[in-house]
Structure 1
């Protein structure tokens, strides 16, 4: 890249160009999920899209899953590693190596270089989770021997070379997966999205000039960095440590829990997240790619806590400026930074817990910006089988929602993907039209919410009836370690999975399974964790407790036991009895 000239930029032009960046990223994502074939991209929006400078610095990102967009700088660095300067106008590059930037093997990236007058000036790129990449298991997997067993890796493969489509490469790619039609449709959608990003970026360059656009990029990233550093500087220097967290197991050695240690050092405007003391890497795919997953998960949660858009008076863009004040120390050979060729495709629960641990570590110093313990999990499941009429595979990947912990002034959100994930649920009607499965129950868990001055969110219970023999793989967790209450709030509830609940064939299932056989007529029940409460439950407003009863979040009996609120049979509050009961409770504490 040629050396940039120093060009000043006025605030109005900066605002217009920066606004255009954000609009471009959102438009790219819209094209991708509207055109995609697979439900995990089309309905769940498990994708990311944006623009990047030649070094891979993120200029803007779509409002989609942070794990996708936050990993793309690493993807681009991986592409530069493999291709060096062998990047040309008209190239379209496919990449997914988790040891060279990818978030994990199923997350394919399409990267299109953008040239102007013969100079590489930017990249338009996106990622999406495809249904299958030809690994040892259809869809998802945990118990695999190494990274090669996870599926095919495309190390900066040019599927278009200087504008020429490489038909043999296309044929090779899509003849070696179980879902060729869906994968091909998704990749075509990703190409259309990235091409649009290229077109829109060049329109900006032609309108304002390259030097002005690059000056806007530089200033926009500097602004984000400055704003985050200002917030970090407000935190007293020191070390803040979360309670030790535990993952259930690695999906092979059941019952052998894995340790999570998280401490945060604040030094001026720098924040260092130290994961030393966490479990060593494991022999299954339950490891976390450092560049593609550990780093973006950390960046995302720190930004979410310190620069909450809902409480900010000004818009602060998400770009690589956010990454610069944050450093992550993860020992090489740990679950957060594995050595190749360790498998690492099943990493979503660990990074969710990492985000929650950072949240808990900062709760003591930022009580009004953090939450109680979140569900911090994803019951990420895949279902697959072979169609009798055609012999083709059907594969479905689903994300089962969790819940947020209570936070200062607000109750936790129910039934929602949380922390560093942002996927949407699939409409049941759409799934039942396409799959040999029937959803017989899909609702909030009946056990109710964790008590607190602000209650925790409630997870879901979902049951599936299988109309044909199927293979099930799950990347679940949090069946053993409850979400942590803070400032006196109640702990949340763990999750669970059962086969044929309430029958003679009832069987408790591990959270992690690979190619587990489910028979026609079986029922699978999934319960996701309920998040924790924030603050002393006896300080909750009695009117809010009554509303929880009316919403079936708690009962009259639990209102008295957990909140010290007395509710009459006619569903009115006995304020005098409530004052007396709470006074008695306070005397015994």
Structure 2
């Protein structure tokens, strides 16, 4: 490639729009063509374009966990690639967590982009698959090593020079409980990546290789500059927060510490996880390259480059990763040593982001939020049909955000690194032997009180219509989302299993359980954590308190004792004079308690 050239602002935005559109089109093709609901409905995927140095040129606005992970995949492929080199029309599949992958169910499909006879970049995507032949259907937690996670691919060519490798395809079909969906979803990924390669080559033909890559480099530099400017405005120093995870899925009652130290050094940030738990003997570990580092990237994009709060929209590319470095000691839960299993890795990442936000509260009081559910309820339901074939269903249940500087925490929504959509319950009933008995906001607890309250969690009760197996990965049954700046803590999550046809008492489940055998008409009811409150509850708009009581988000007693609001529920009104007097009284009590 000849020397780079300076691109004028108008052309720069034309190229930016073009590559971002390519990434979005790749994602659209992928989820529209896929068969499994985790991709088709939840959109648990990411897609984009990358240069030969594995820099992210653009990525789809999909699940944040996938944003930033593919460069790790590409570096892993460079170490393991079949033939040791790329050929035109190759198609590679890769998911090895010790060669850069986010975790093993996230298969990446990578296609090299050749232009003028030379390799100029890559079109790639990742997507979560419902079963890759692991020890239990769909998800795993309590397994001894990475080899129990199912099929591991490292730089494996599905196509070589355009010729299909039928041996590998046959191997895939024969090693998954949901082989039809797995193969069809991989085909959708290939179609998506081929589209990306074709569109990018069309862009190179139209504007020239020098111009397009010069523009991409300027866009990466721009994103880096914007993030460095935001970091430089934060006082240098070390900012710390810590908490714990419930357990590792096997050793009950043994909390796992998570410690975060954010070092602001000029215009860069260092996230140090030293002091966090040692790696676990289960799959409850986090691949360092593909997940731990990506969580840190996502945290600071949320804090400093959020689209809704930033004056200008900053492209999501490699530049927004460069000012951030991550430290996690080898052998810790955030940087395990092979061959430790590392499939059940999401809740740790989400909790790490929640702690980063908490650590930055003293210096970013108008950008941070109170504690979110910061977990994920990832459930696998599976069983064997009368014809001997498996059915497998993966579901992500919503959580809730913490209260925010200017508004309440959103209710019943994926948060922080999670961004998957819910599965329509009508679609569920059409495809698998399950019925959703209940799907609504929690009514057994209240969210964290505050000037802006925490979000309400969800309750979802899924009934299985055959004997089967459930594996469930979640968190925060013991560690409650925190309130901040005077806000109150939220509510912990819980999970129950019961049978609608028997009089047996319901079972309170741990936040994580693996390969649980269930019977026909057993129900798993999951209650997600509620977010913490932001600011003093006595400063909340009394009208909002009345609305919360009428909506069932707050009890009349809570309105009086915590918010200091006097209501007439029969008339559905509030008494502002009595409210003002009660709030003065409660404020005085708080001041005396603090002395």
TM over 0.5: yes
Q: Say whether the 8 Å CA contact 1:501–1:507 is kept in structure 2.
A: no
Match of 1:365 among 357, 363, 366: 363
- Pairing 1:580–2:581 present: yes
Compare 163-172 and 420-429 and name the one that shifted more.
163-172
- The two structures have a TM-score, normalised by structure 1, of 0.98
Matches for 1:65-80 after TM superposition, within 5 Å: 65-80=63-78
Match of 1:522 in 2: 522
Name the count of aligned residue pairs: 585
Match of 1:397 among 374, 385, 394: 394
Report the CA distance between 1:20 and its aligned residue: 0.7
Matches for 1:308-347 after TM superposition, within 5 Å: 308-347=306-345
Matches for 1:253-402 after TM superposition, within 5 Å: 253-388=251-386, 390-402=387-399
Match of 2:424 among 418, 421, 427: 427
Matches for 1:10-49 after TM superposition, within 5 Å: 10-49=8-47
Match of 1:218 in 2: 217
- Pairing 1:415–2:416 present: no
* Alpha-carbon distance in 2 for matches of 1:137, 1:429: 26
Q: Alpha carbons of 1:357 and 1:501: their partners in 2 closer, same or farther (altered >3 Å)?
A: farther
Report the CA distance between 1:546 and its aligned residue: 1.4
Report the CA distance between 1:103 and its aligned residue: 0.5
Match of 2:509 in 1: 509
* Structure 1: gaps (5+ residues): none
3-state SS in 1 of match to 2:68? helix
Match of 1:551 in 2: 551
Report the CA distance between 1:434 and its aligned residue: 1.2
Report the CA distance between 1:321 and its aligned residue: 0.4
3-state SS in 2 of match to 1:531? coil
3-state SS in 1 of match to 2:89? coil
Q: Deviations over 1:146-201 (max 9, x none)?
A: 00001111111111001111112111122111111000110000000001100110
Match of 2:237 in 1: 238
* Alpha-carbon distance in 1 for matches of 2:381, 2:42: 16
* Alpha-carbon distance in 2 for matches of 1:197, 1:349: 31
* Alpha-carbon distance in 2 for matches of 1:454, 1:399: 26
Report the CA distance between 1:467 and its aligned residue: 1.1
* Alpha-carbon distance in 1 for matches of 2:209, 2:321: 25
Matches for 1:113-192 after TM superposition, within 5 Å: 113-192=112-191
- Pairing 1:492–2:490 present: yes
Match of 1:469 in 2: 467
Report the CA distance between 1:48 and its aligned residue: 0.4
- Pairing 1:439–2:433 present: no
Q: Say whether the 8 Å CA contact 2:486–2:534 is kept in structure 1.
A: yes
Q: Deviations over 1:289-320 (max 9, x none)?
A: 00110011110111111011001221200101
Match of 2:52 in 1: 54
* Alpha-carbon distance in 1 for matches of 2:486, 2:258: 23
* Structure 2: gaps (5+ residues): 591-595
Q: Say whether the 8 Å CA contact 2:495–2:526 is kept in structure 1.
A: yes
Match of 2:593 in 1: none
* Alpha-carbon distance in 2 for matches of 1:522, 1:202: 53
Compare 270-279 and 84-93 and name the one that shifted more.
84-93
* Alpha-carbon distance in 1 for matches of 2:588, 2:6: 66
- The two structures have a TM-score, normalised by structure 2, of 0.97
Q: Deviations over 1:547-582 (max 9, x none)?
A: 212322112221111100101131111011001101
Q: Say whether the 8 Å CA contact 1:499–1:505 is kept in structure 2.
A: no
* Alpha-carbon distance in 2 for matches of 1:104, 1:546: 46
Report the CA distance between 1:450 and its aligned residue: 1.4
- Pairing 1:567–2:535 present: no
Q: Say whether the 8 Å CA contact 2:462–2:525 is kept in structure 1.
A: yes
Q: Deviations over 1:236-282 (max 9, x none)?
A: 0011111x211000001011110000011101001011100000001
Q: Say whether the 8 Å CA contact 1:453–1:538 is kept in structure 2.
A: yes
Q: Say whether the 8 Å CA contact 2:446–2:491 is kept in structure 1.
A: no
* Alpha-carbon distance in 2 for matches of 1:174, 1:365: 53
* Alpha-carbon distance in 1 for matches of 2:133, 2:525: 28
Q: Say whether the 8 Å CA contact 1:501–1:525 is kept in structure 2.
A: no
3-state SS in 2 of match to 1:328? strand
* Alpha-carbon distance in 2 for matches of 1:287, 1:54: 30
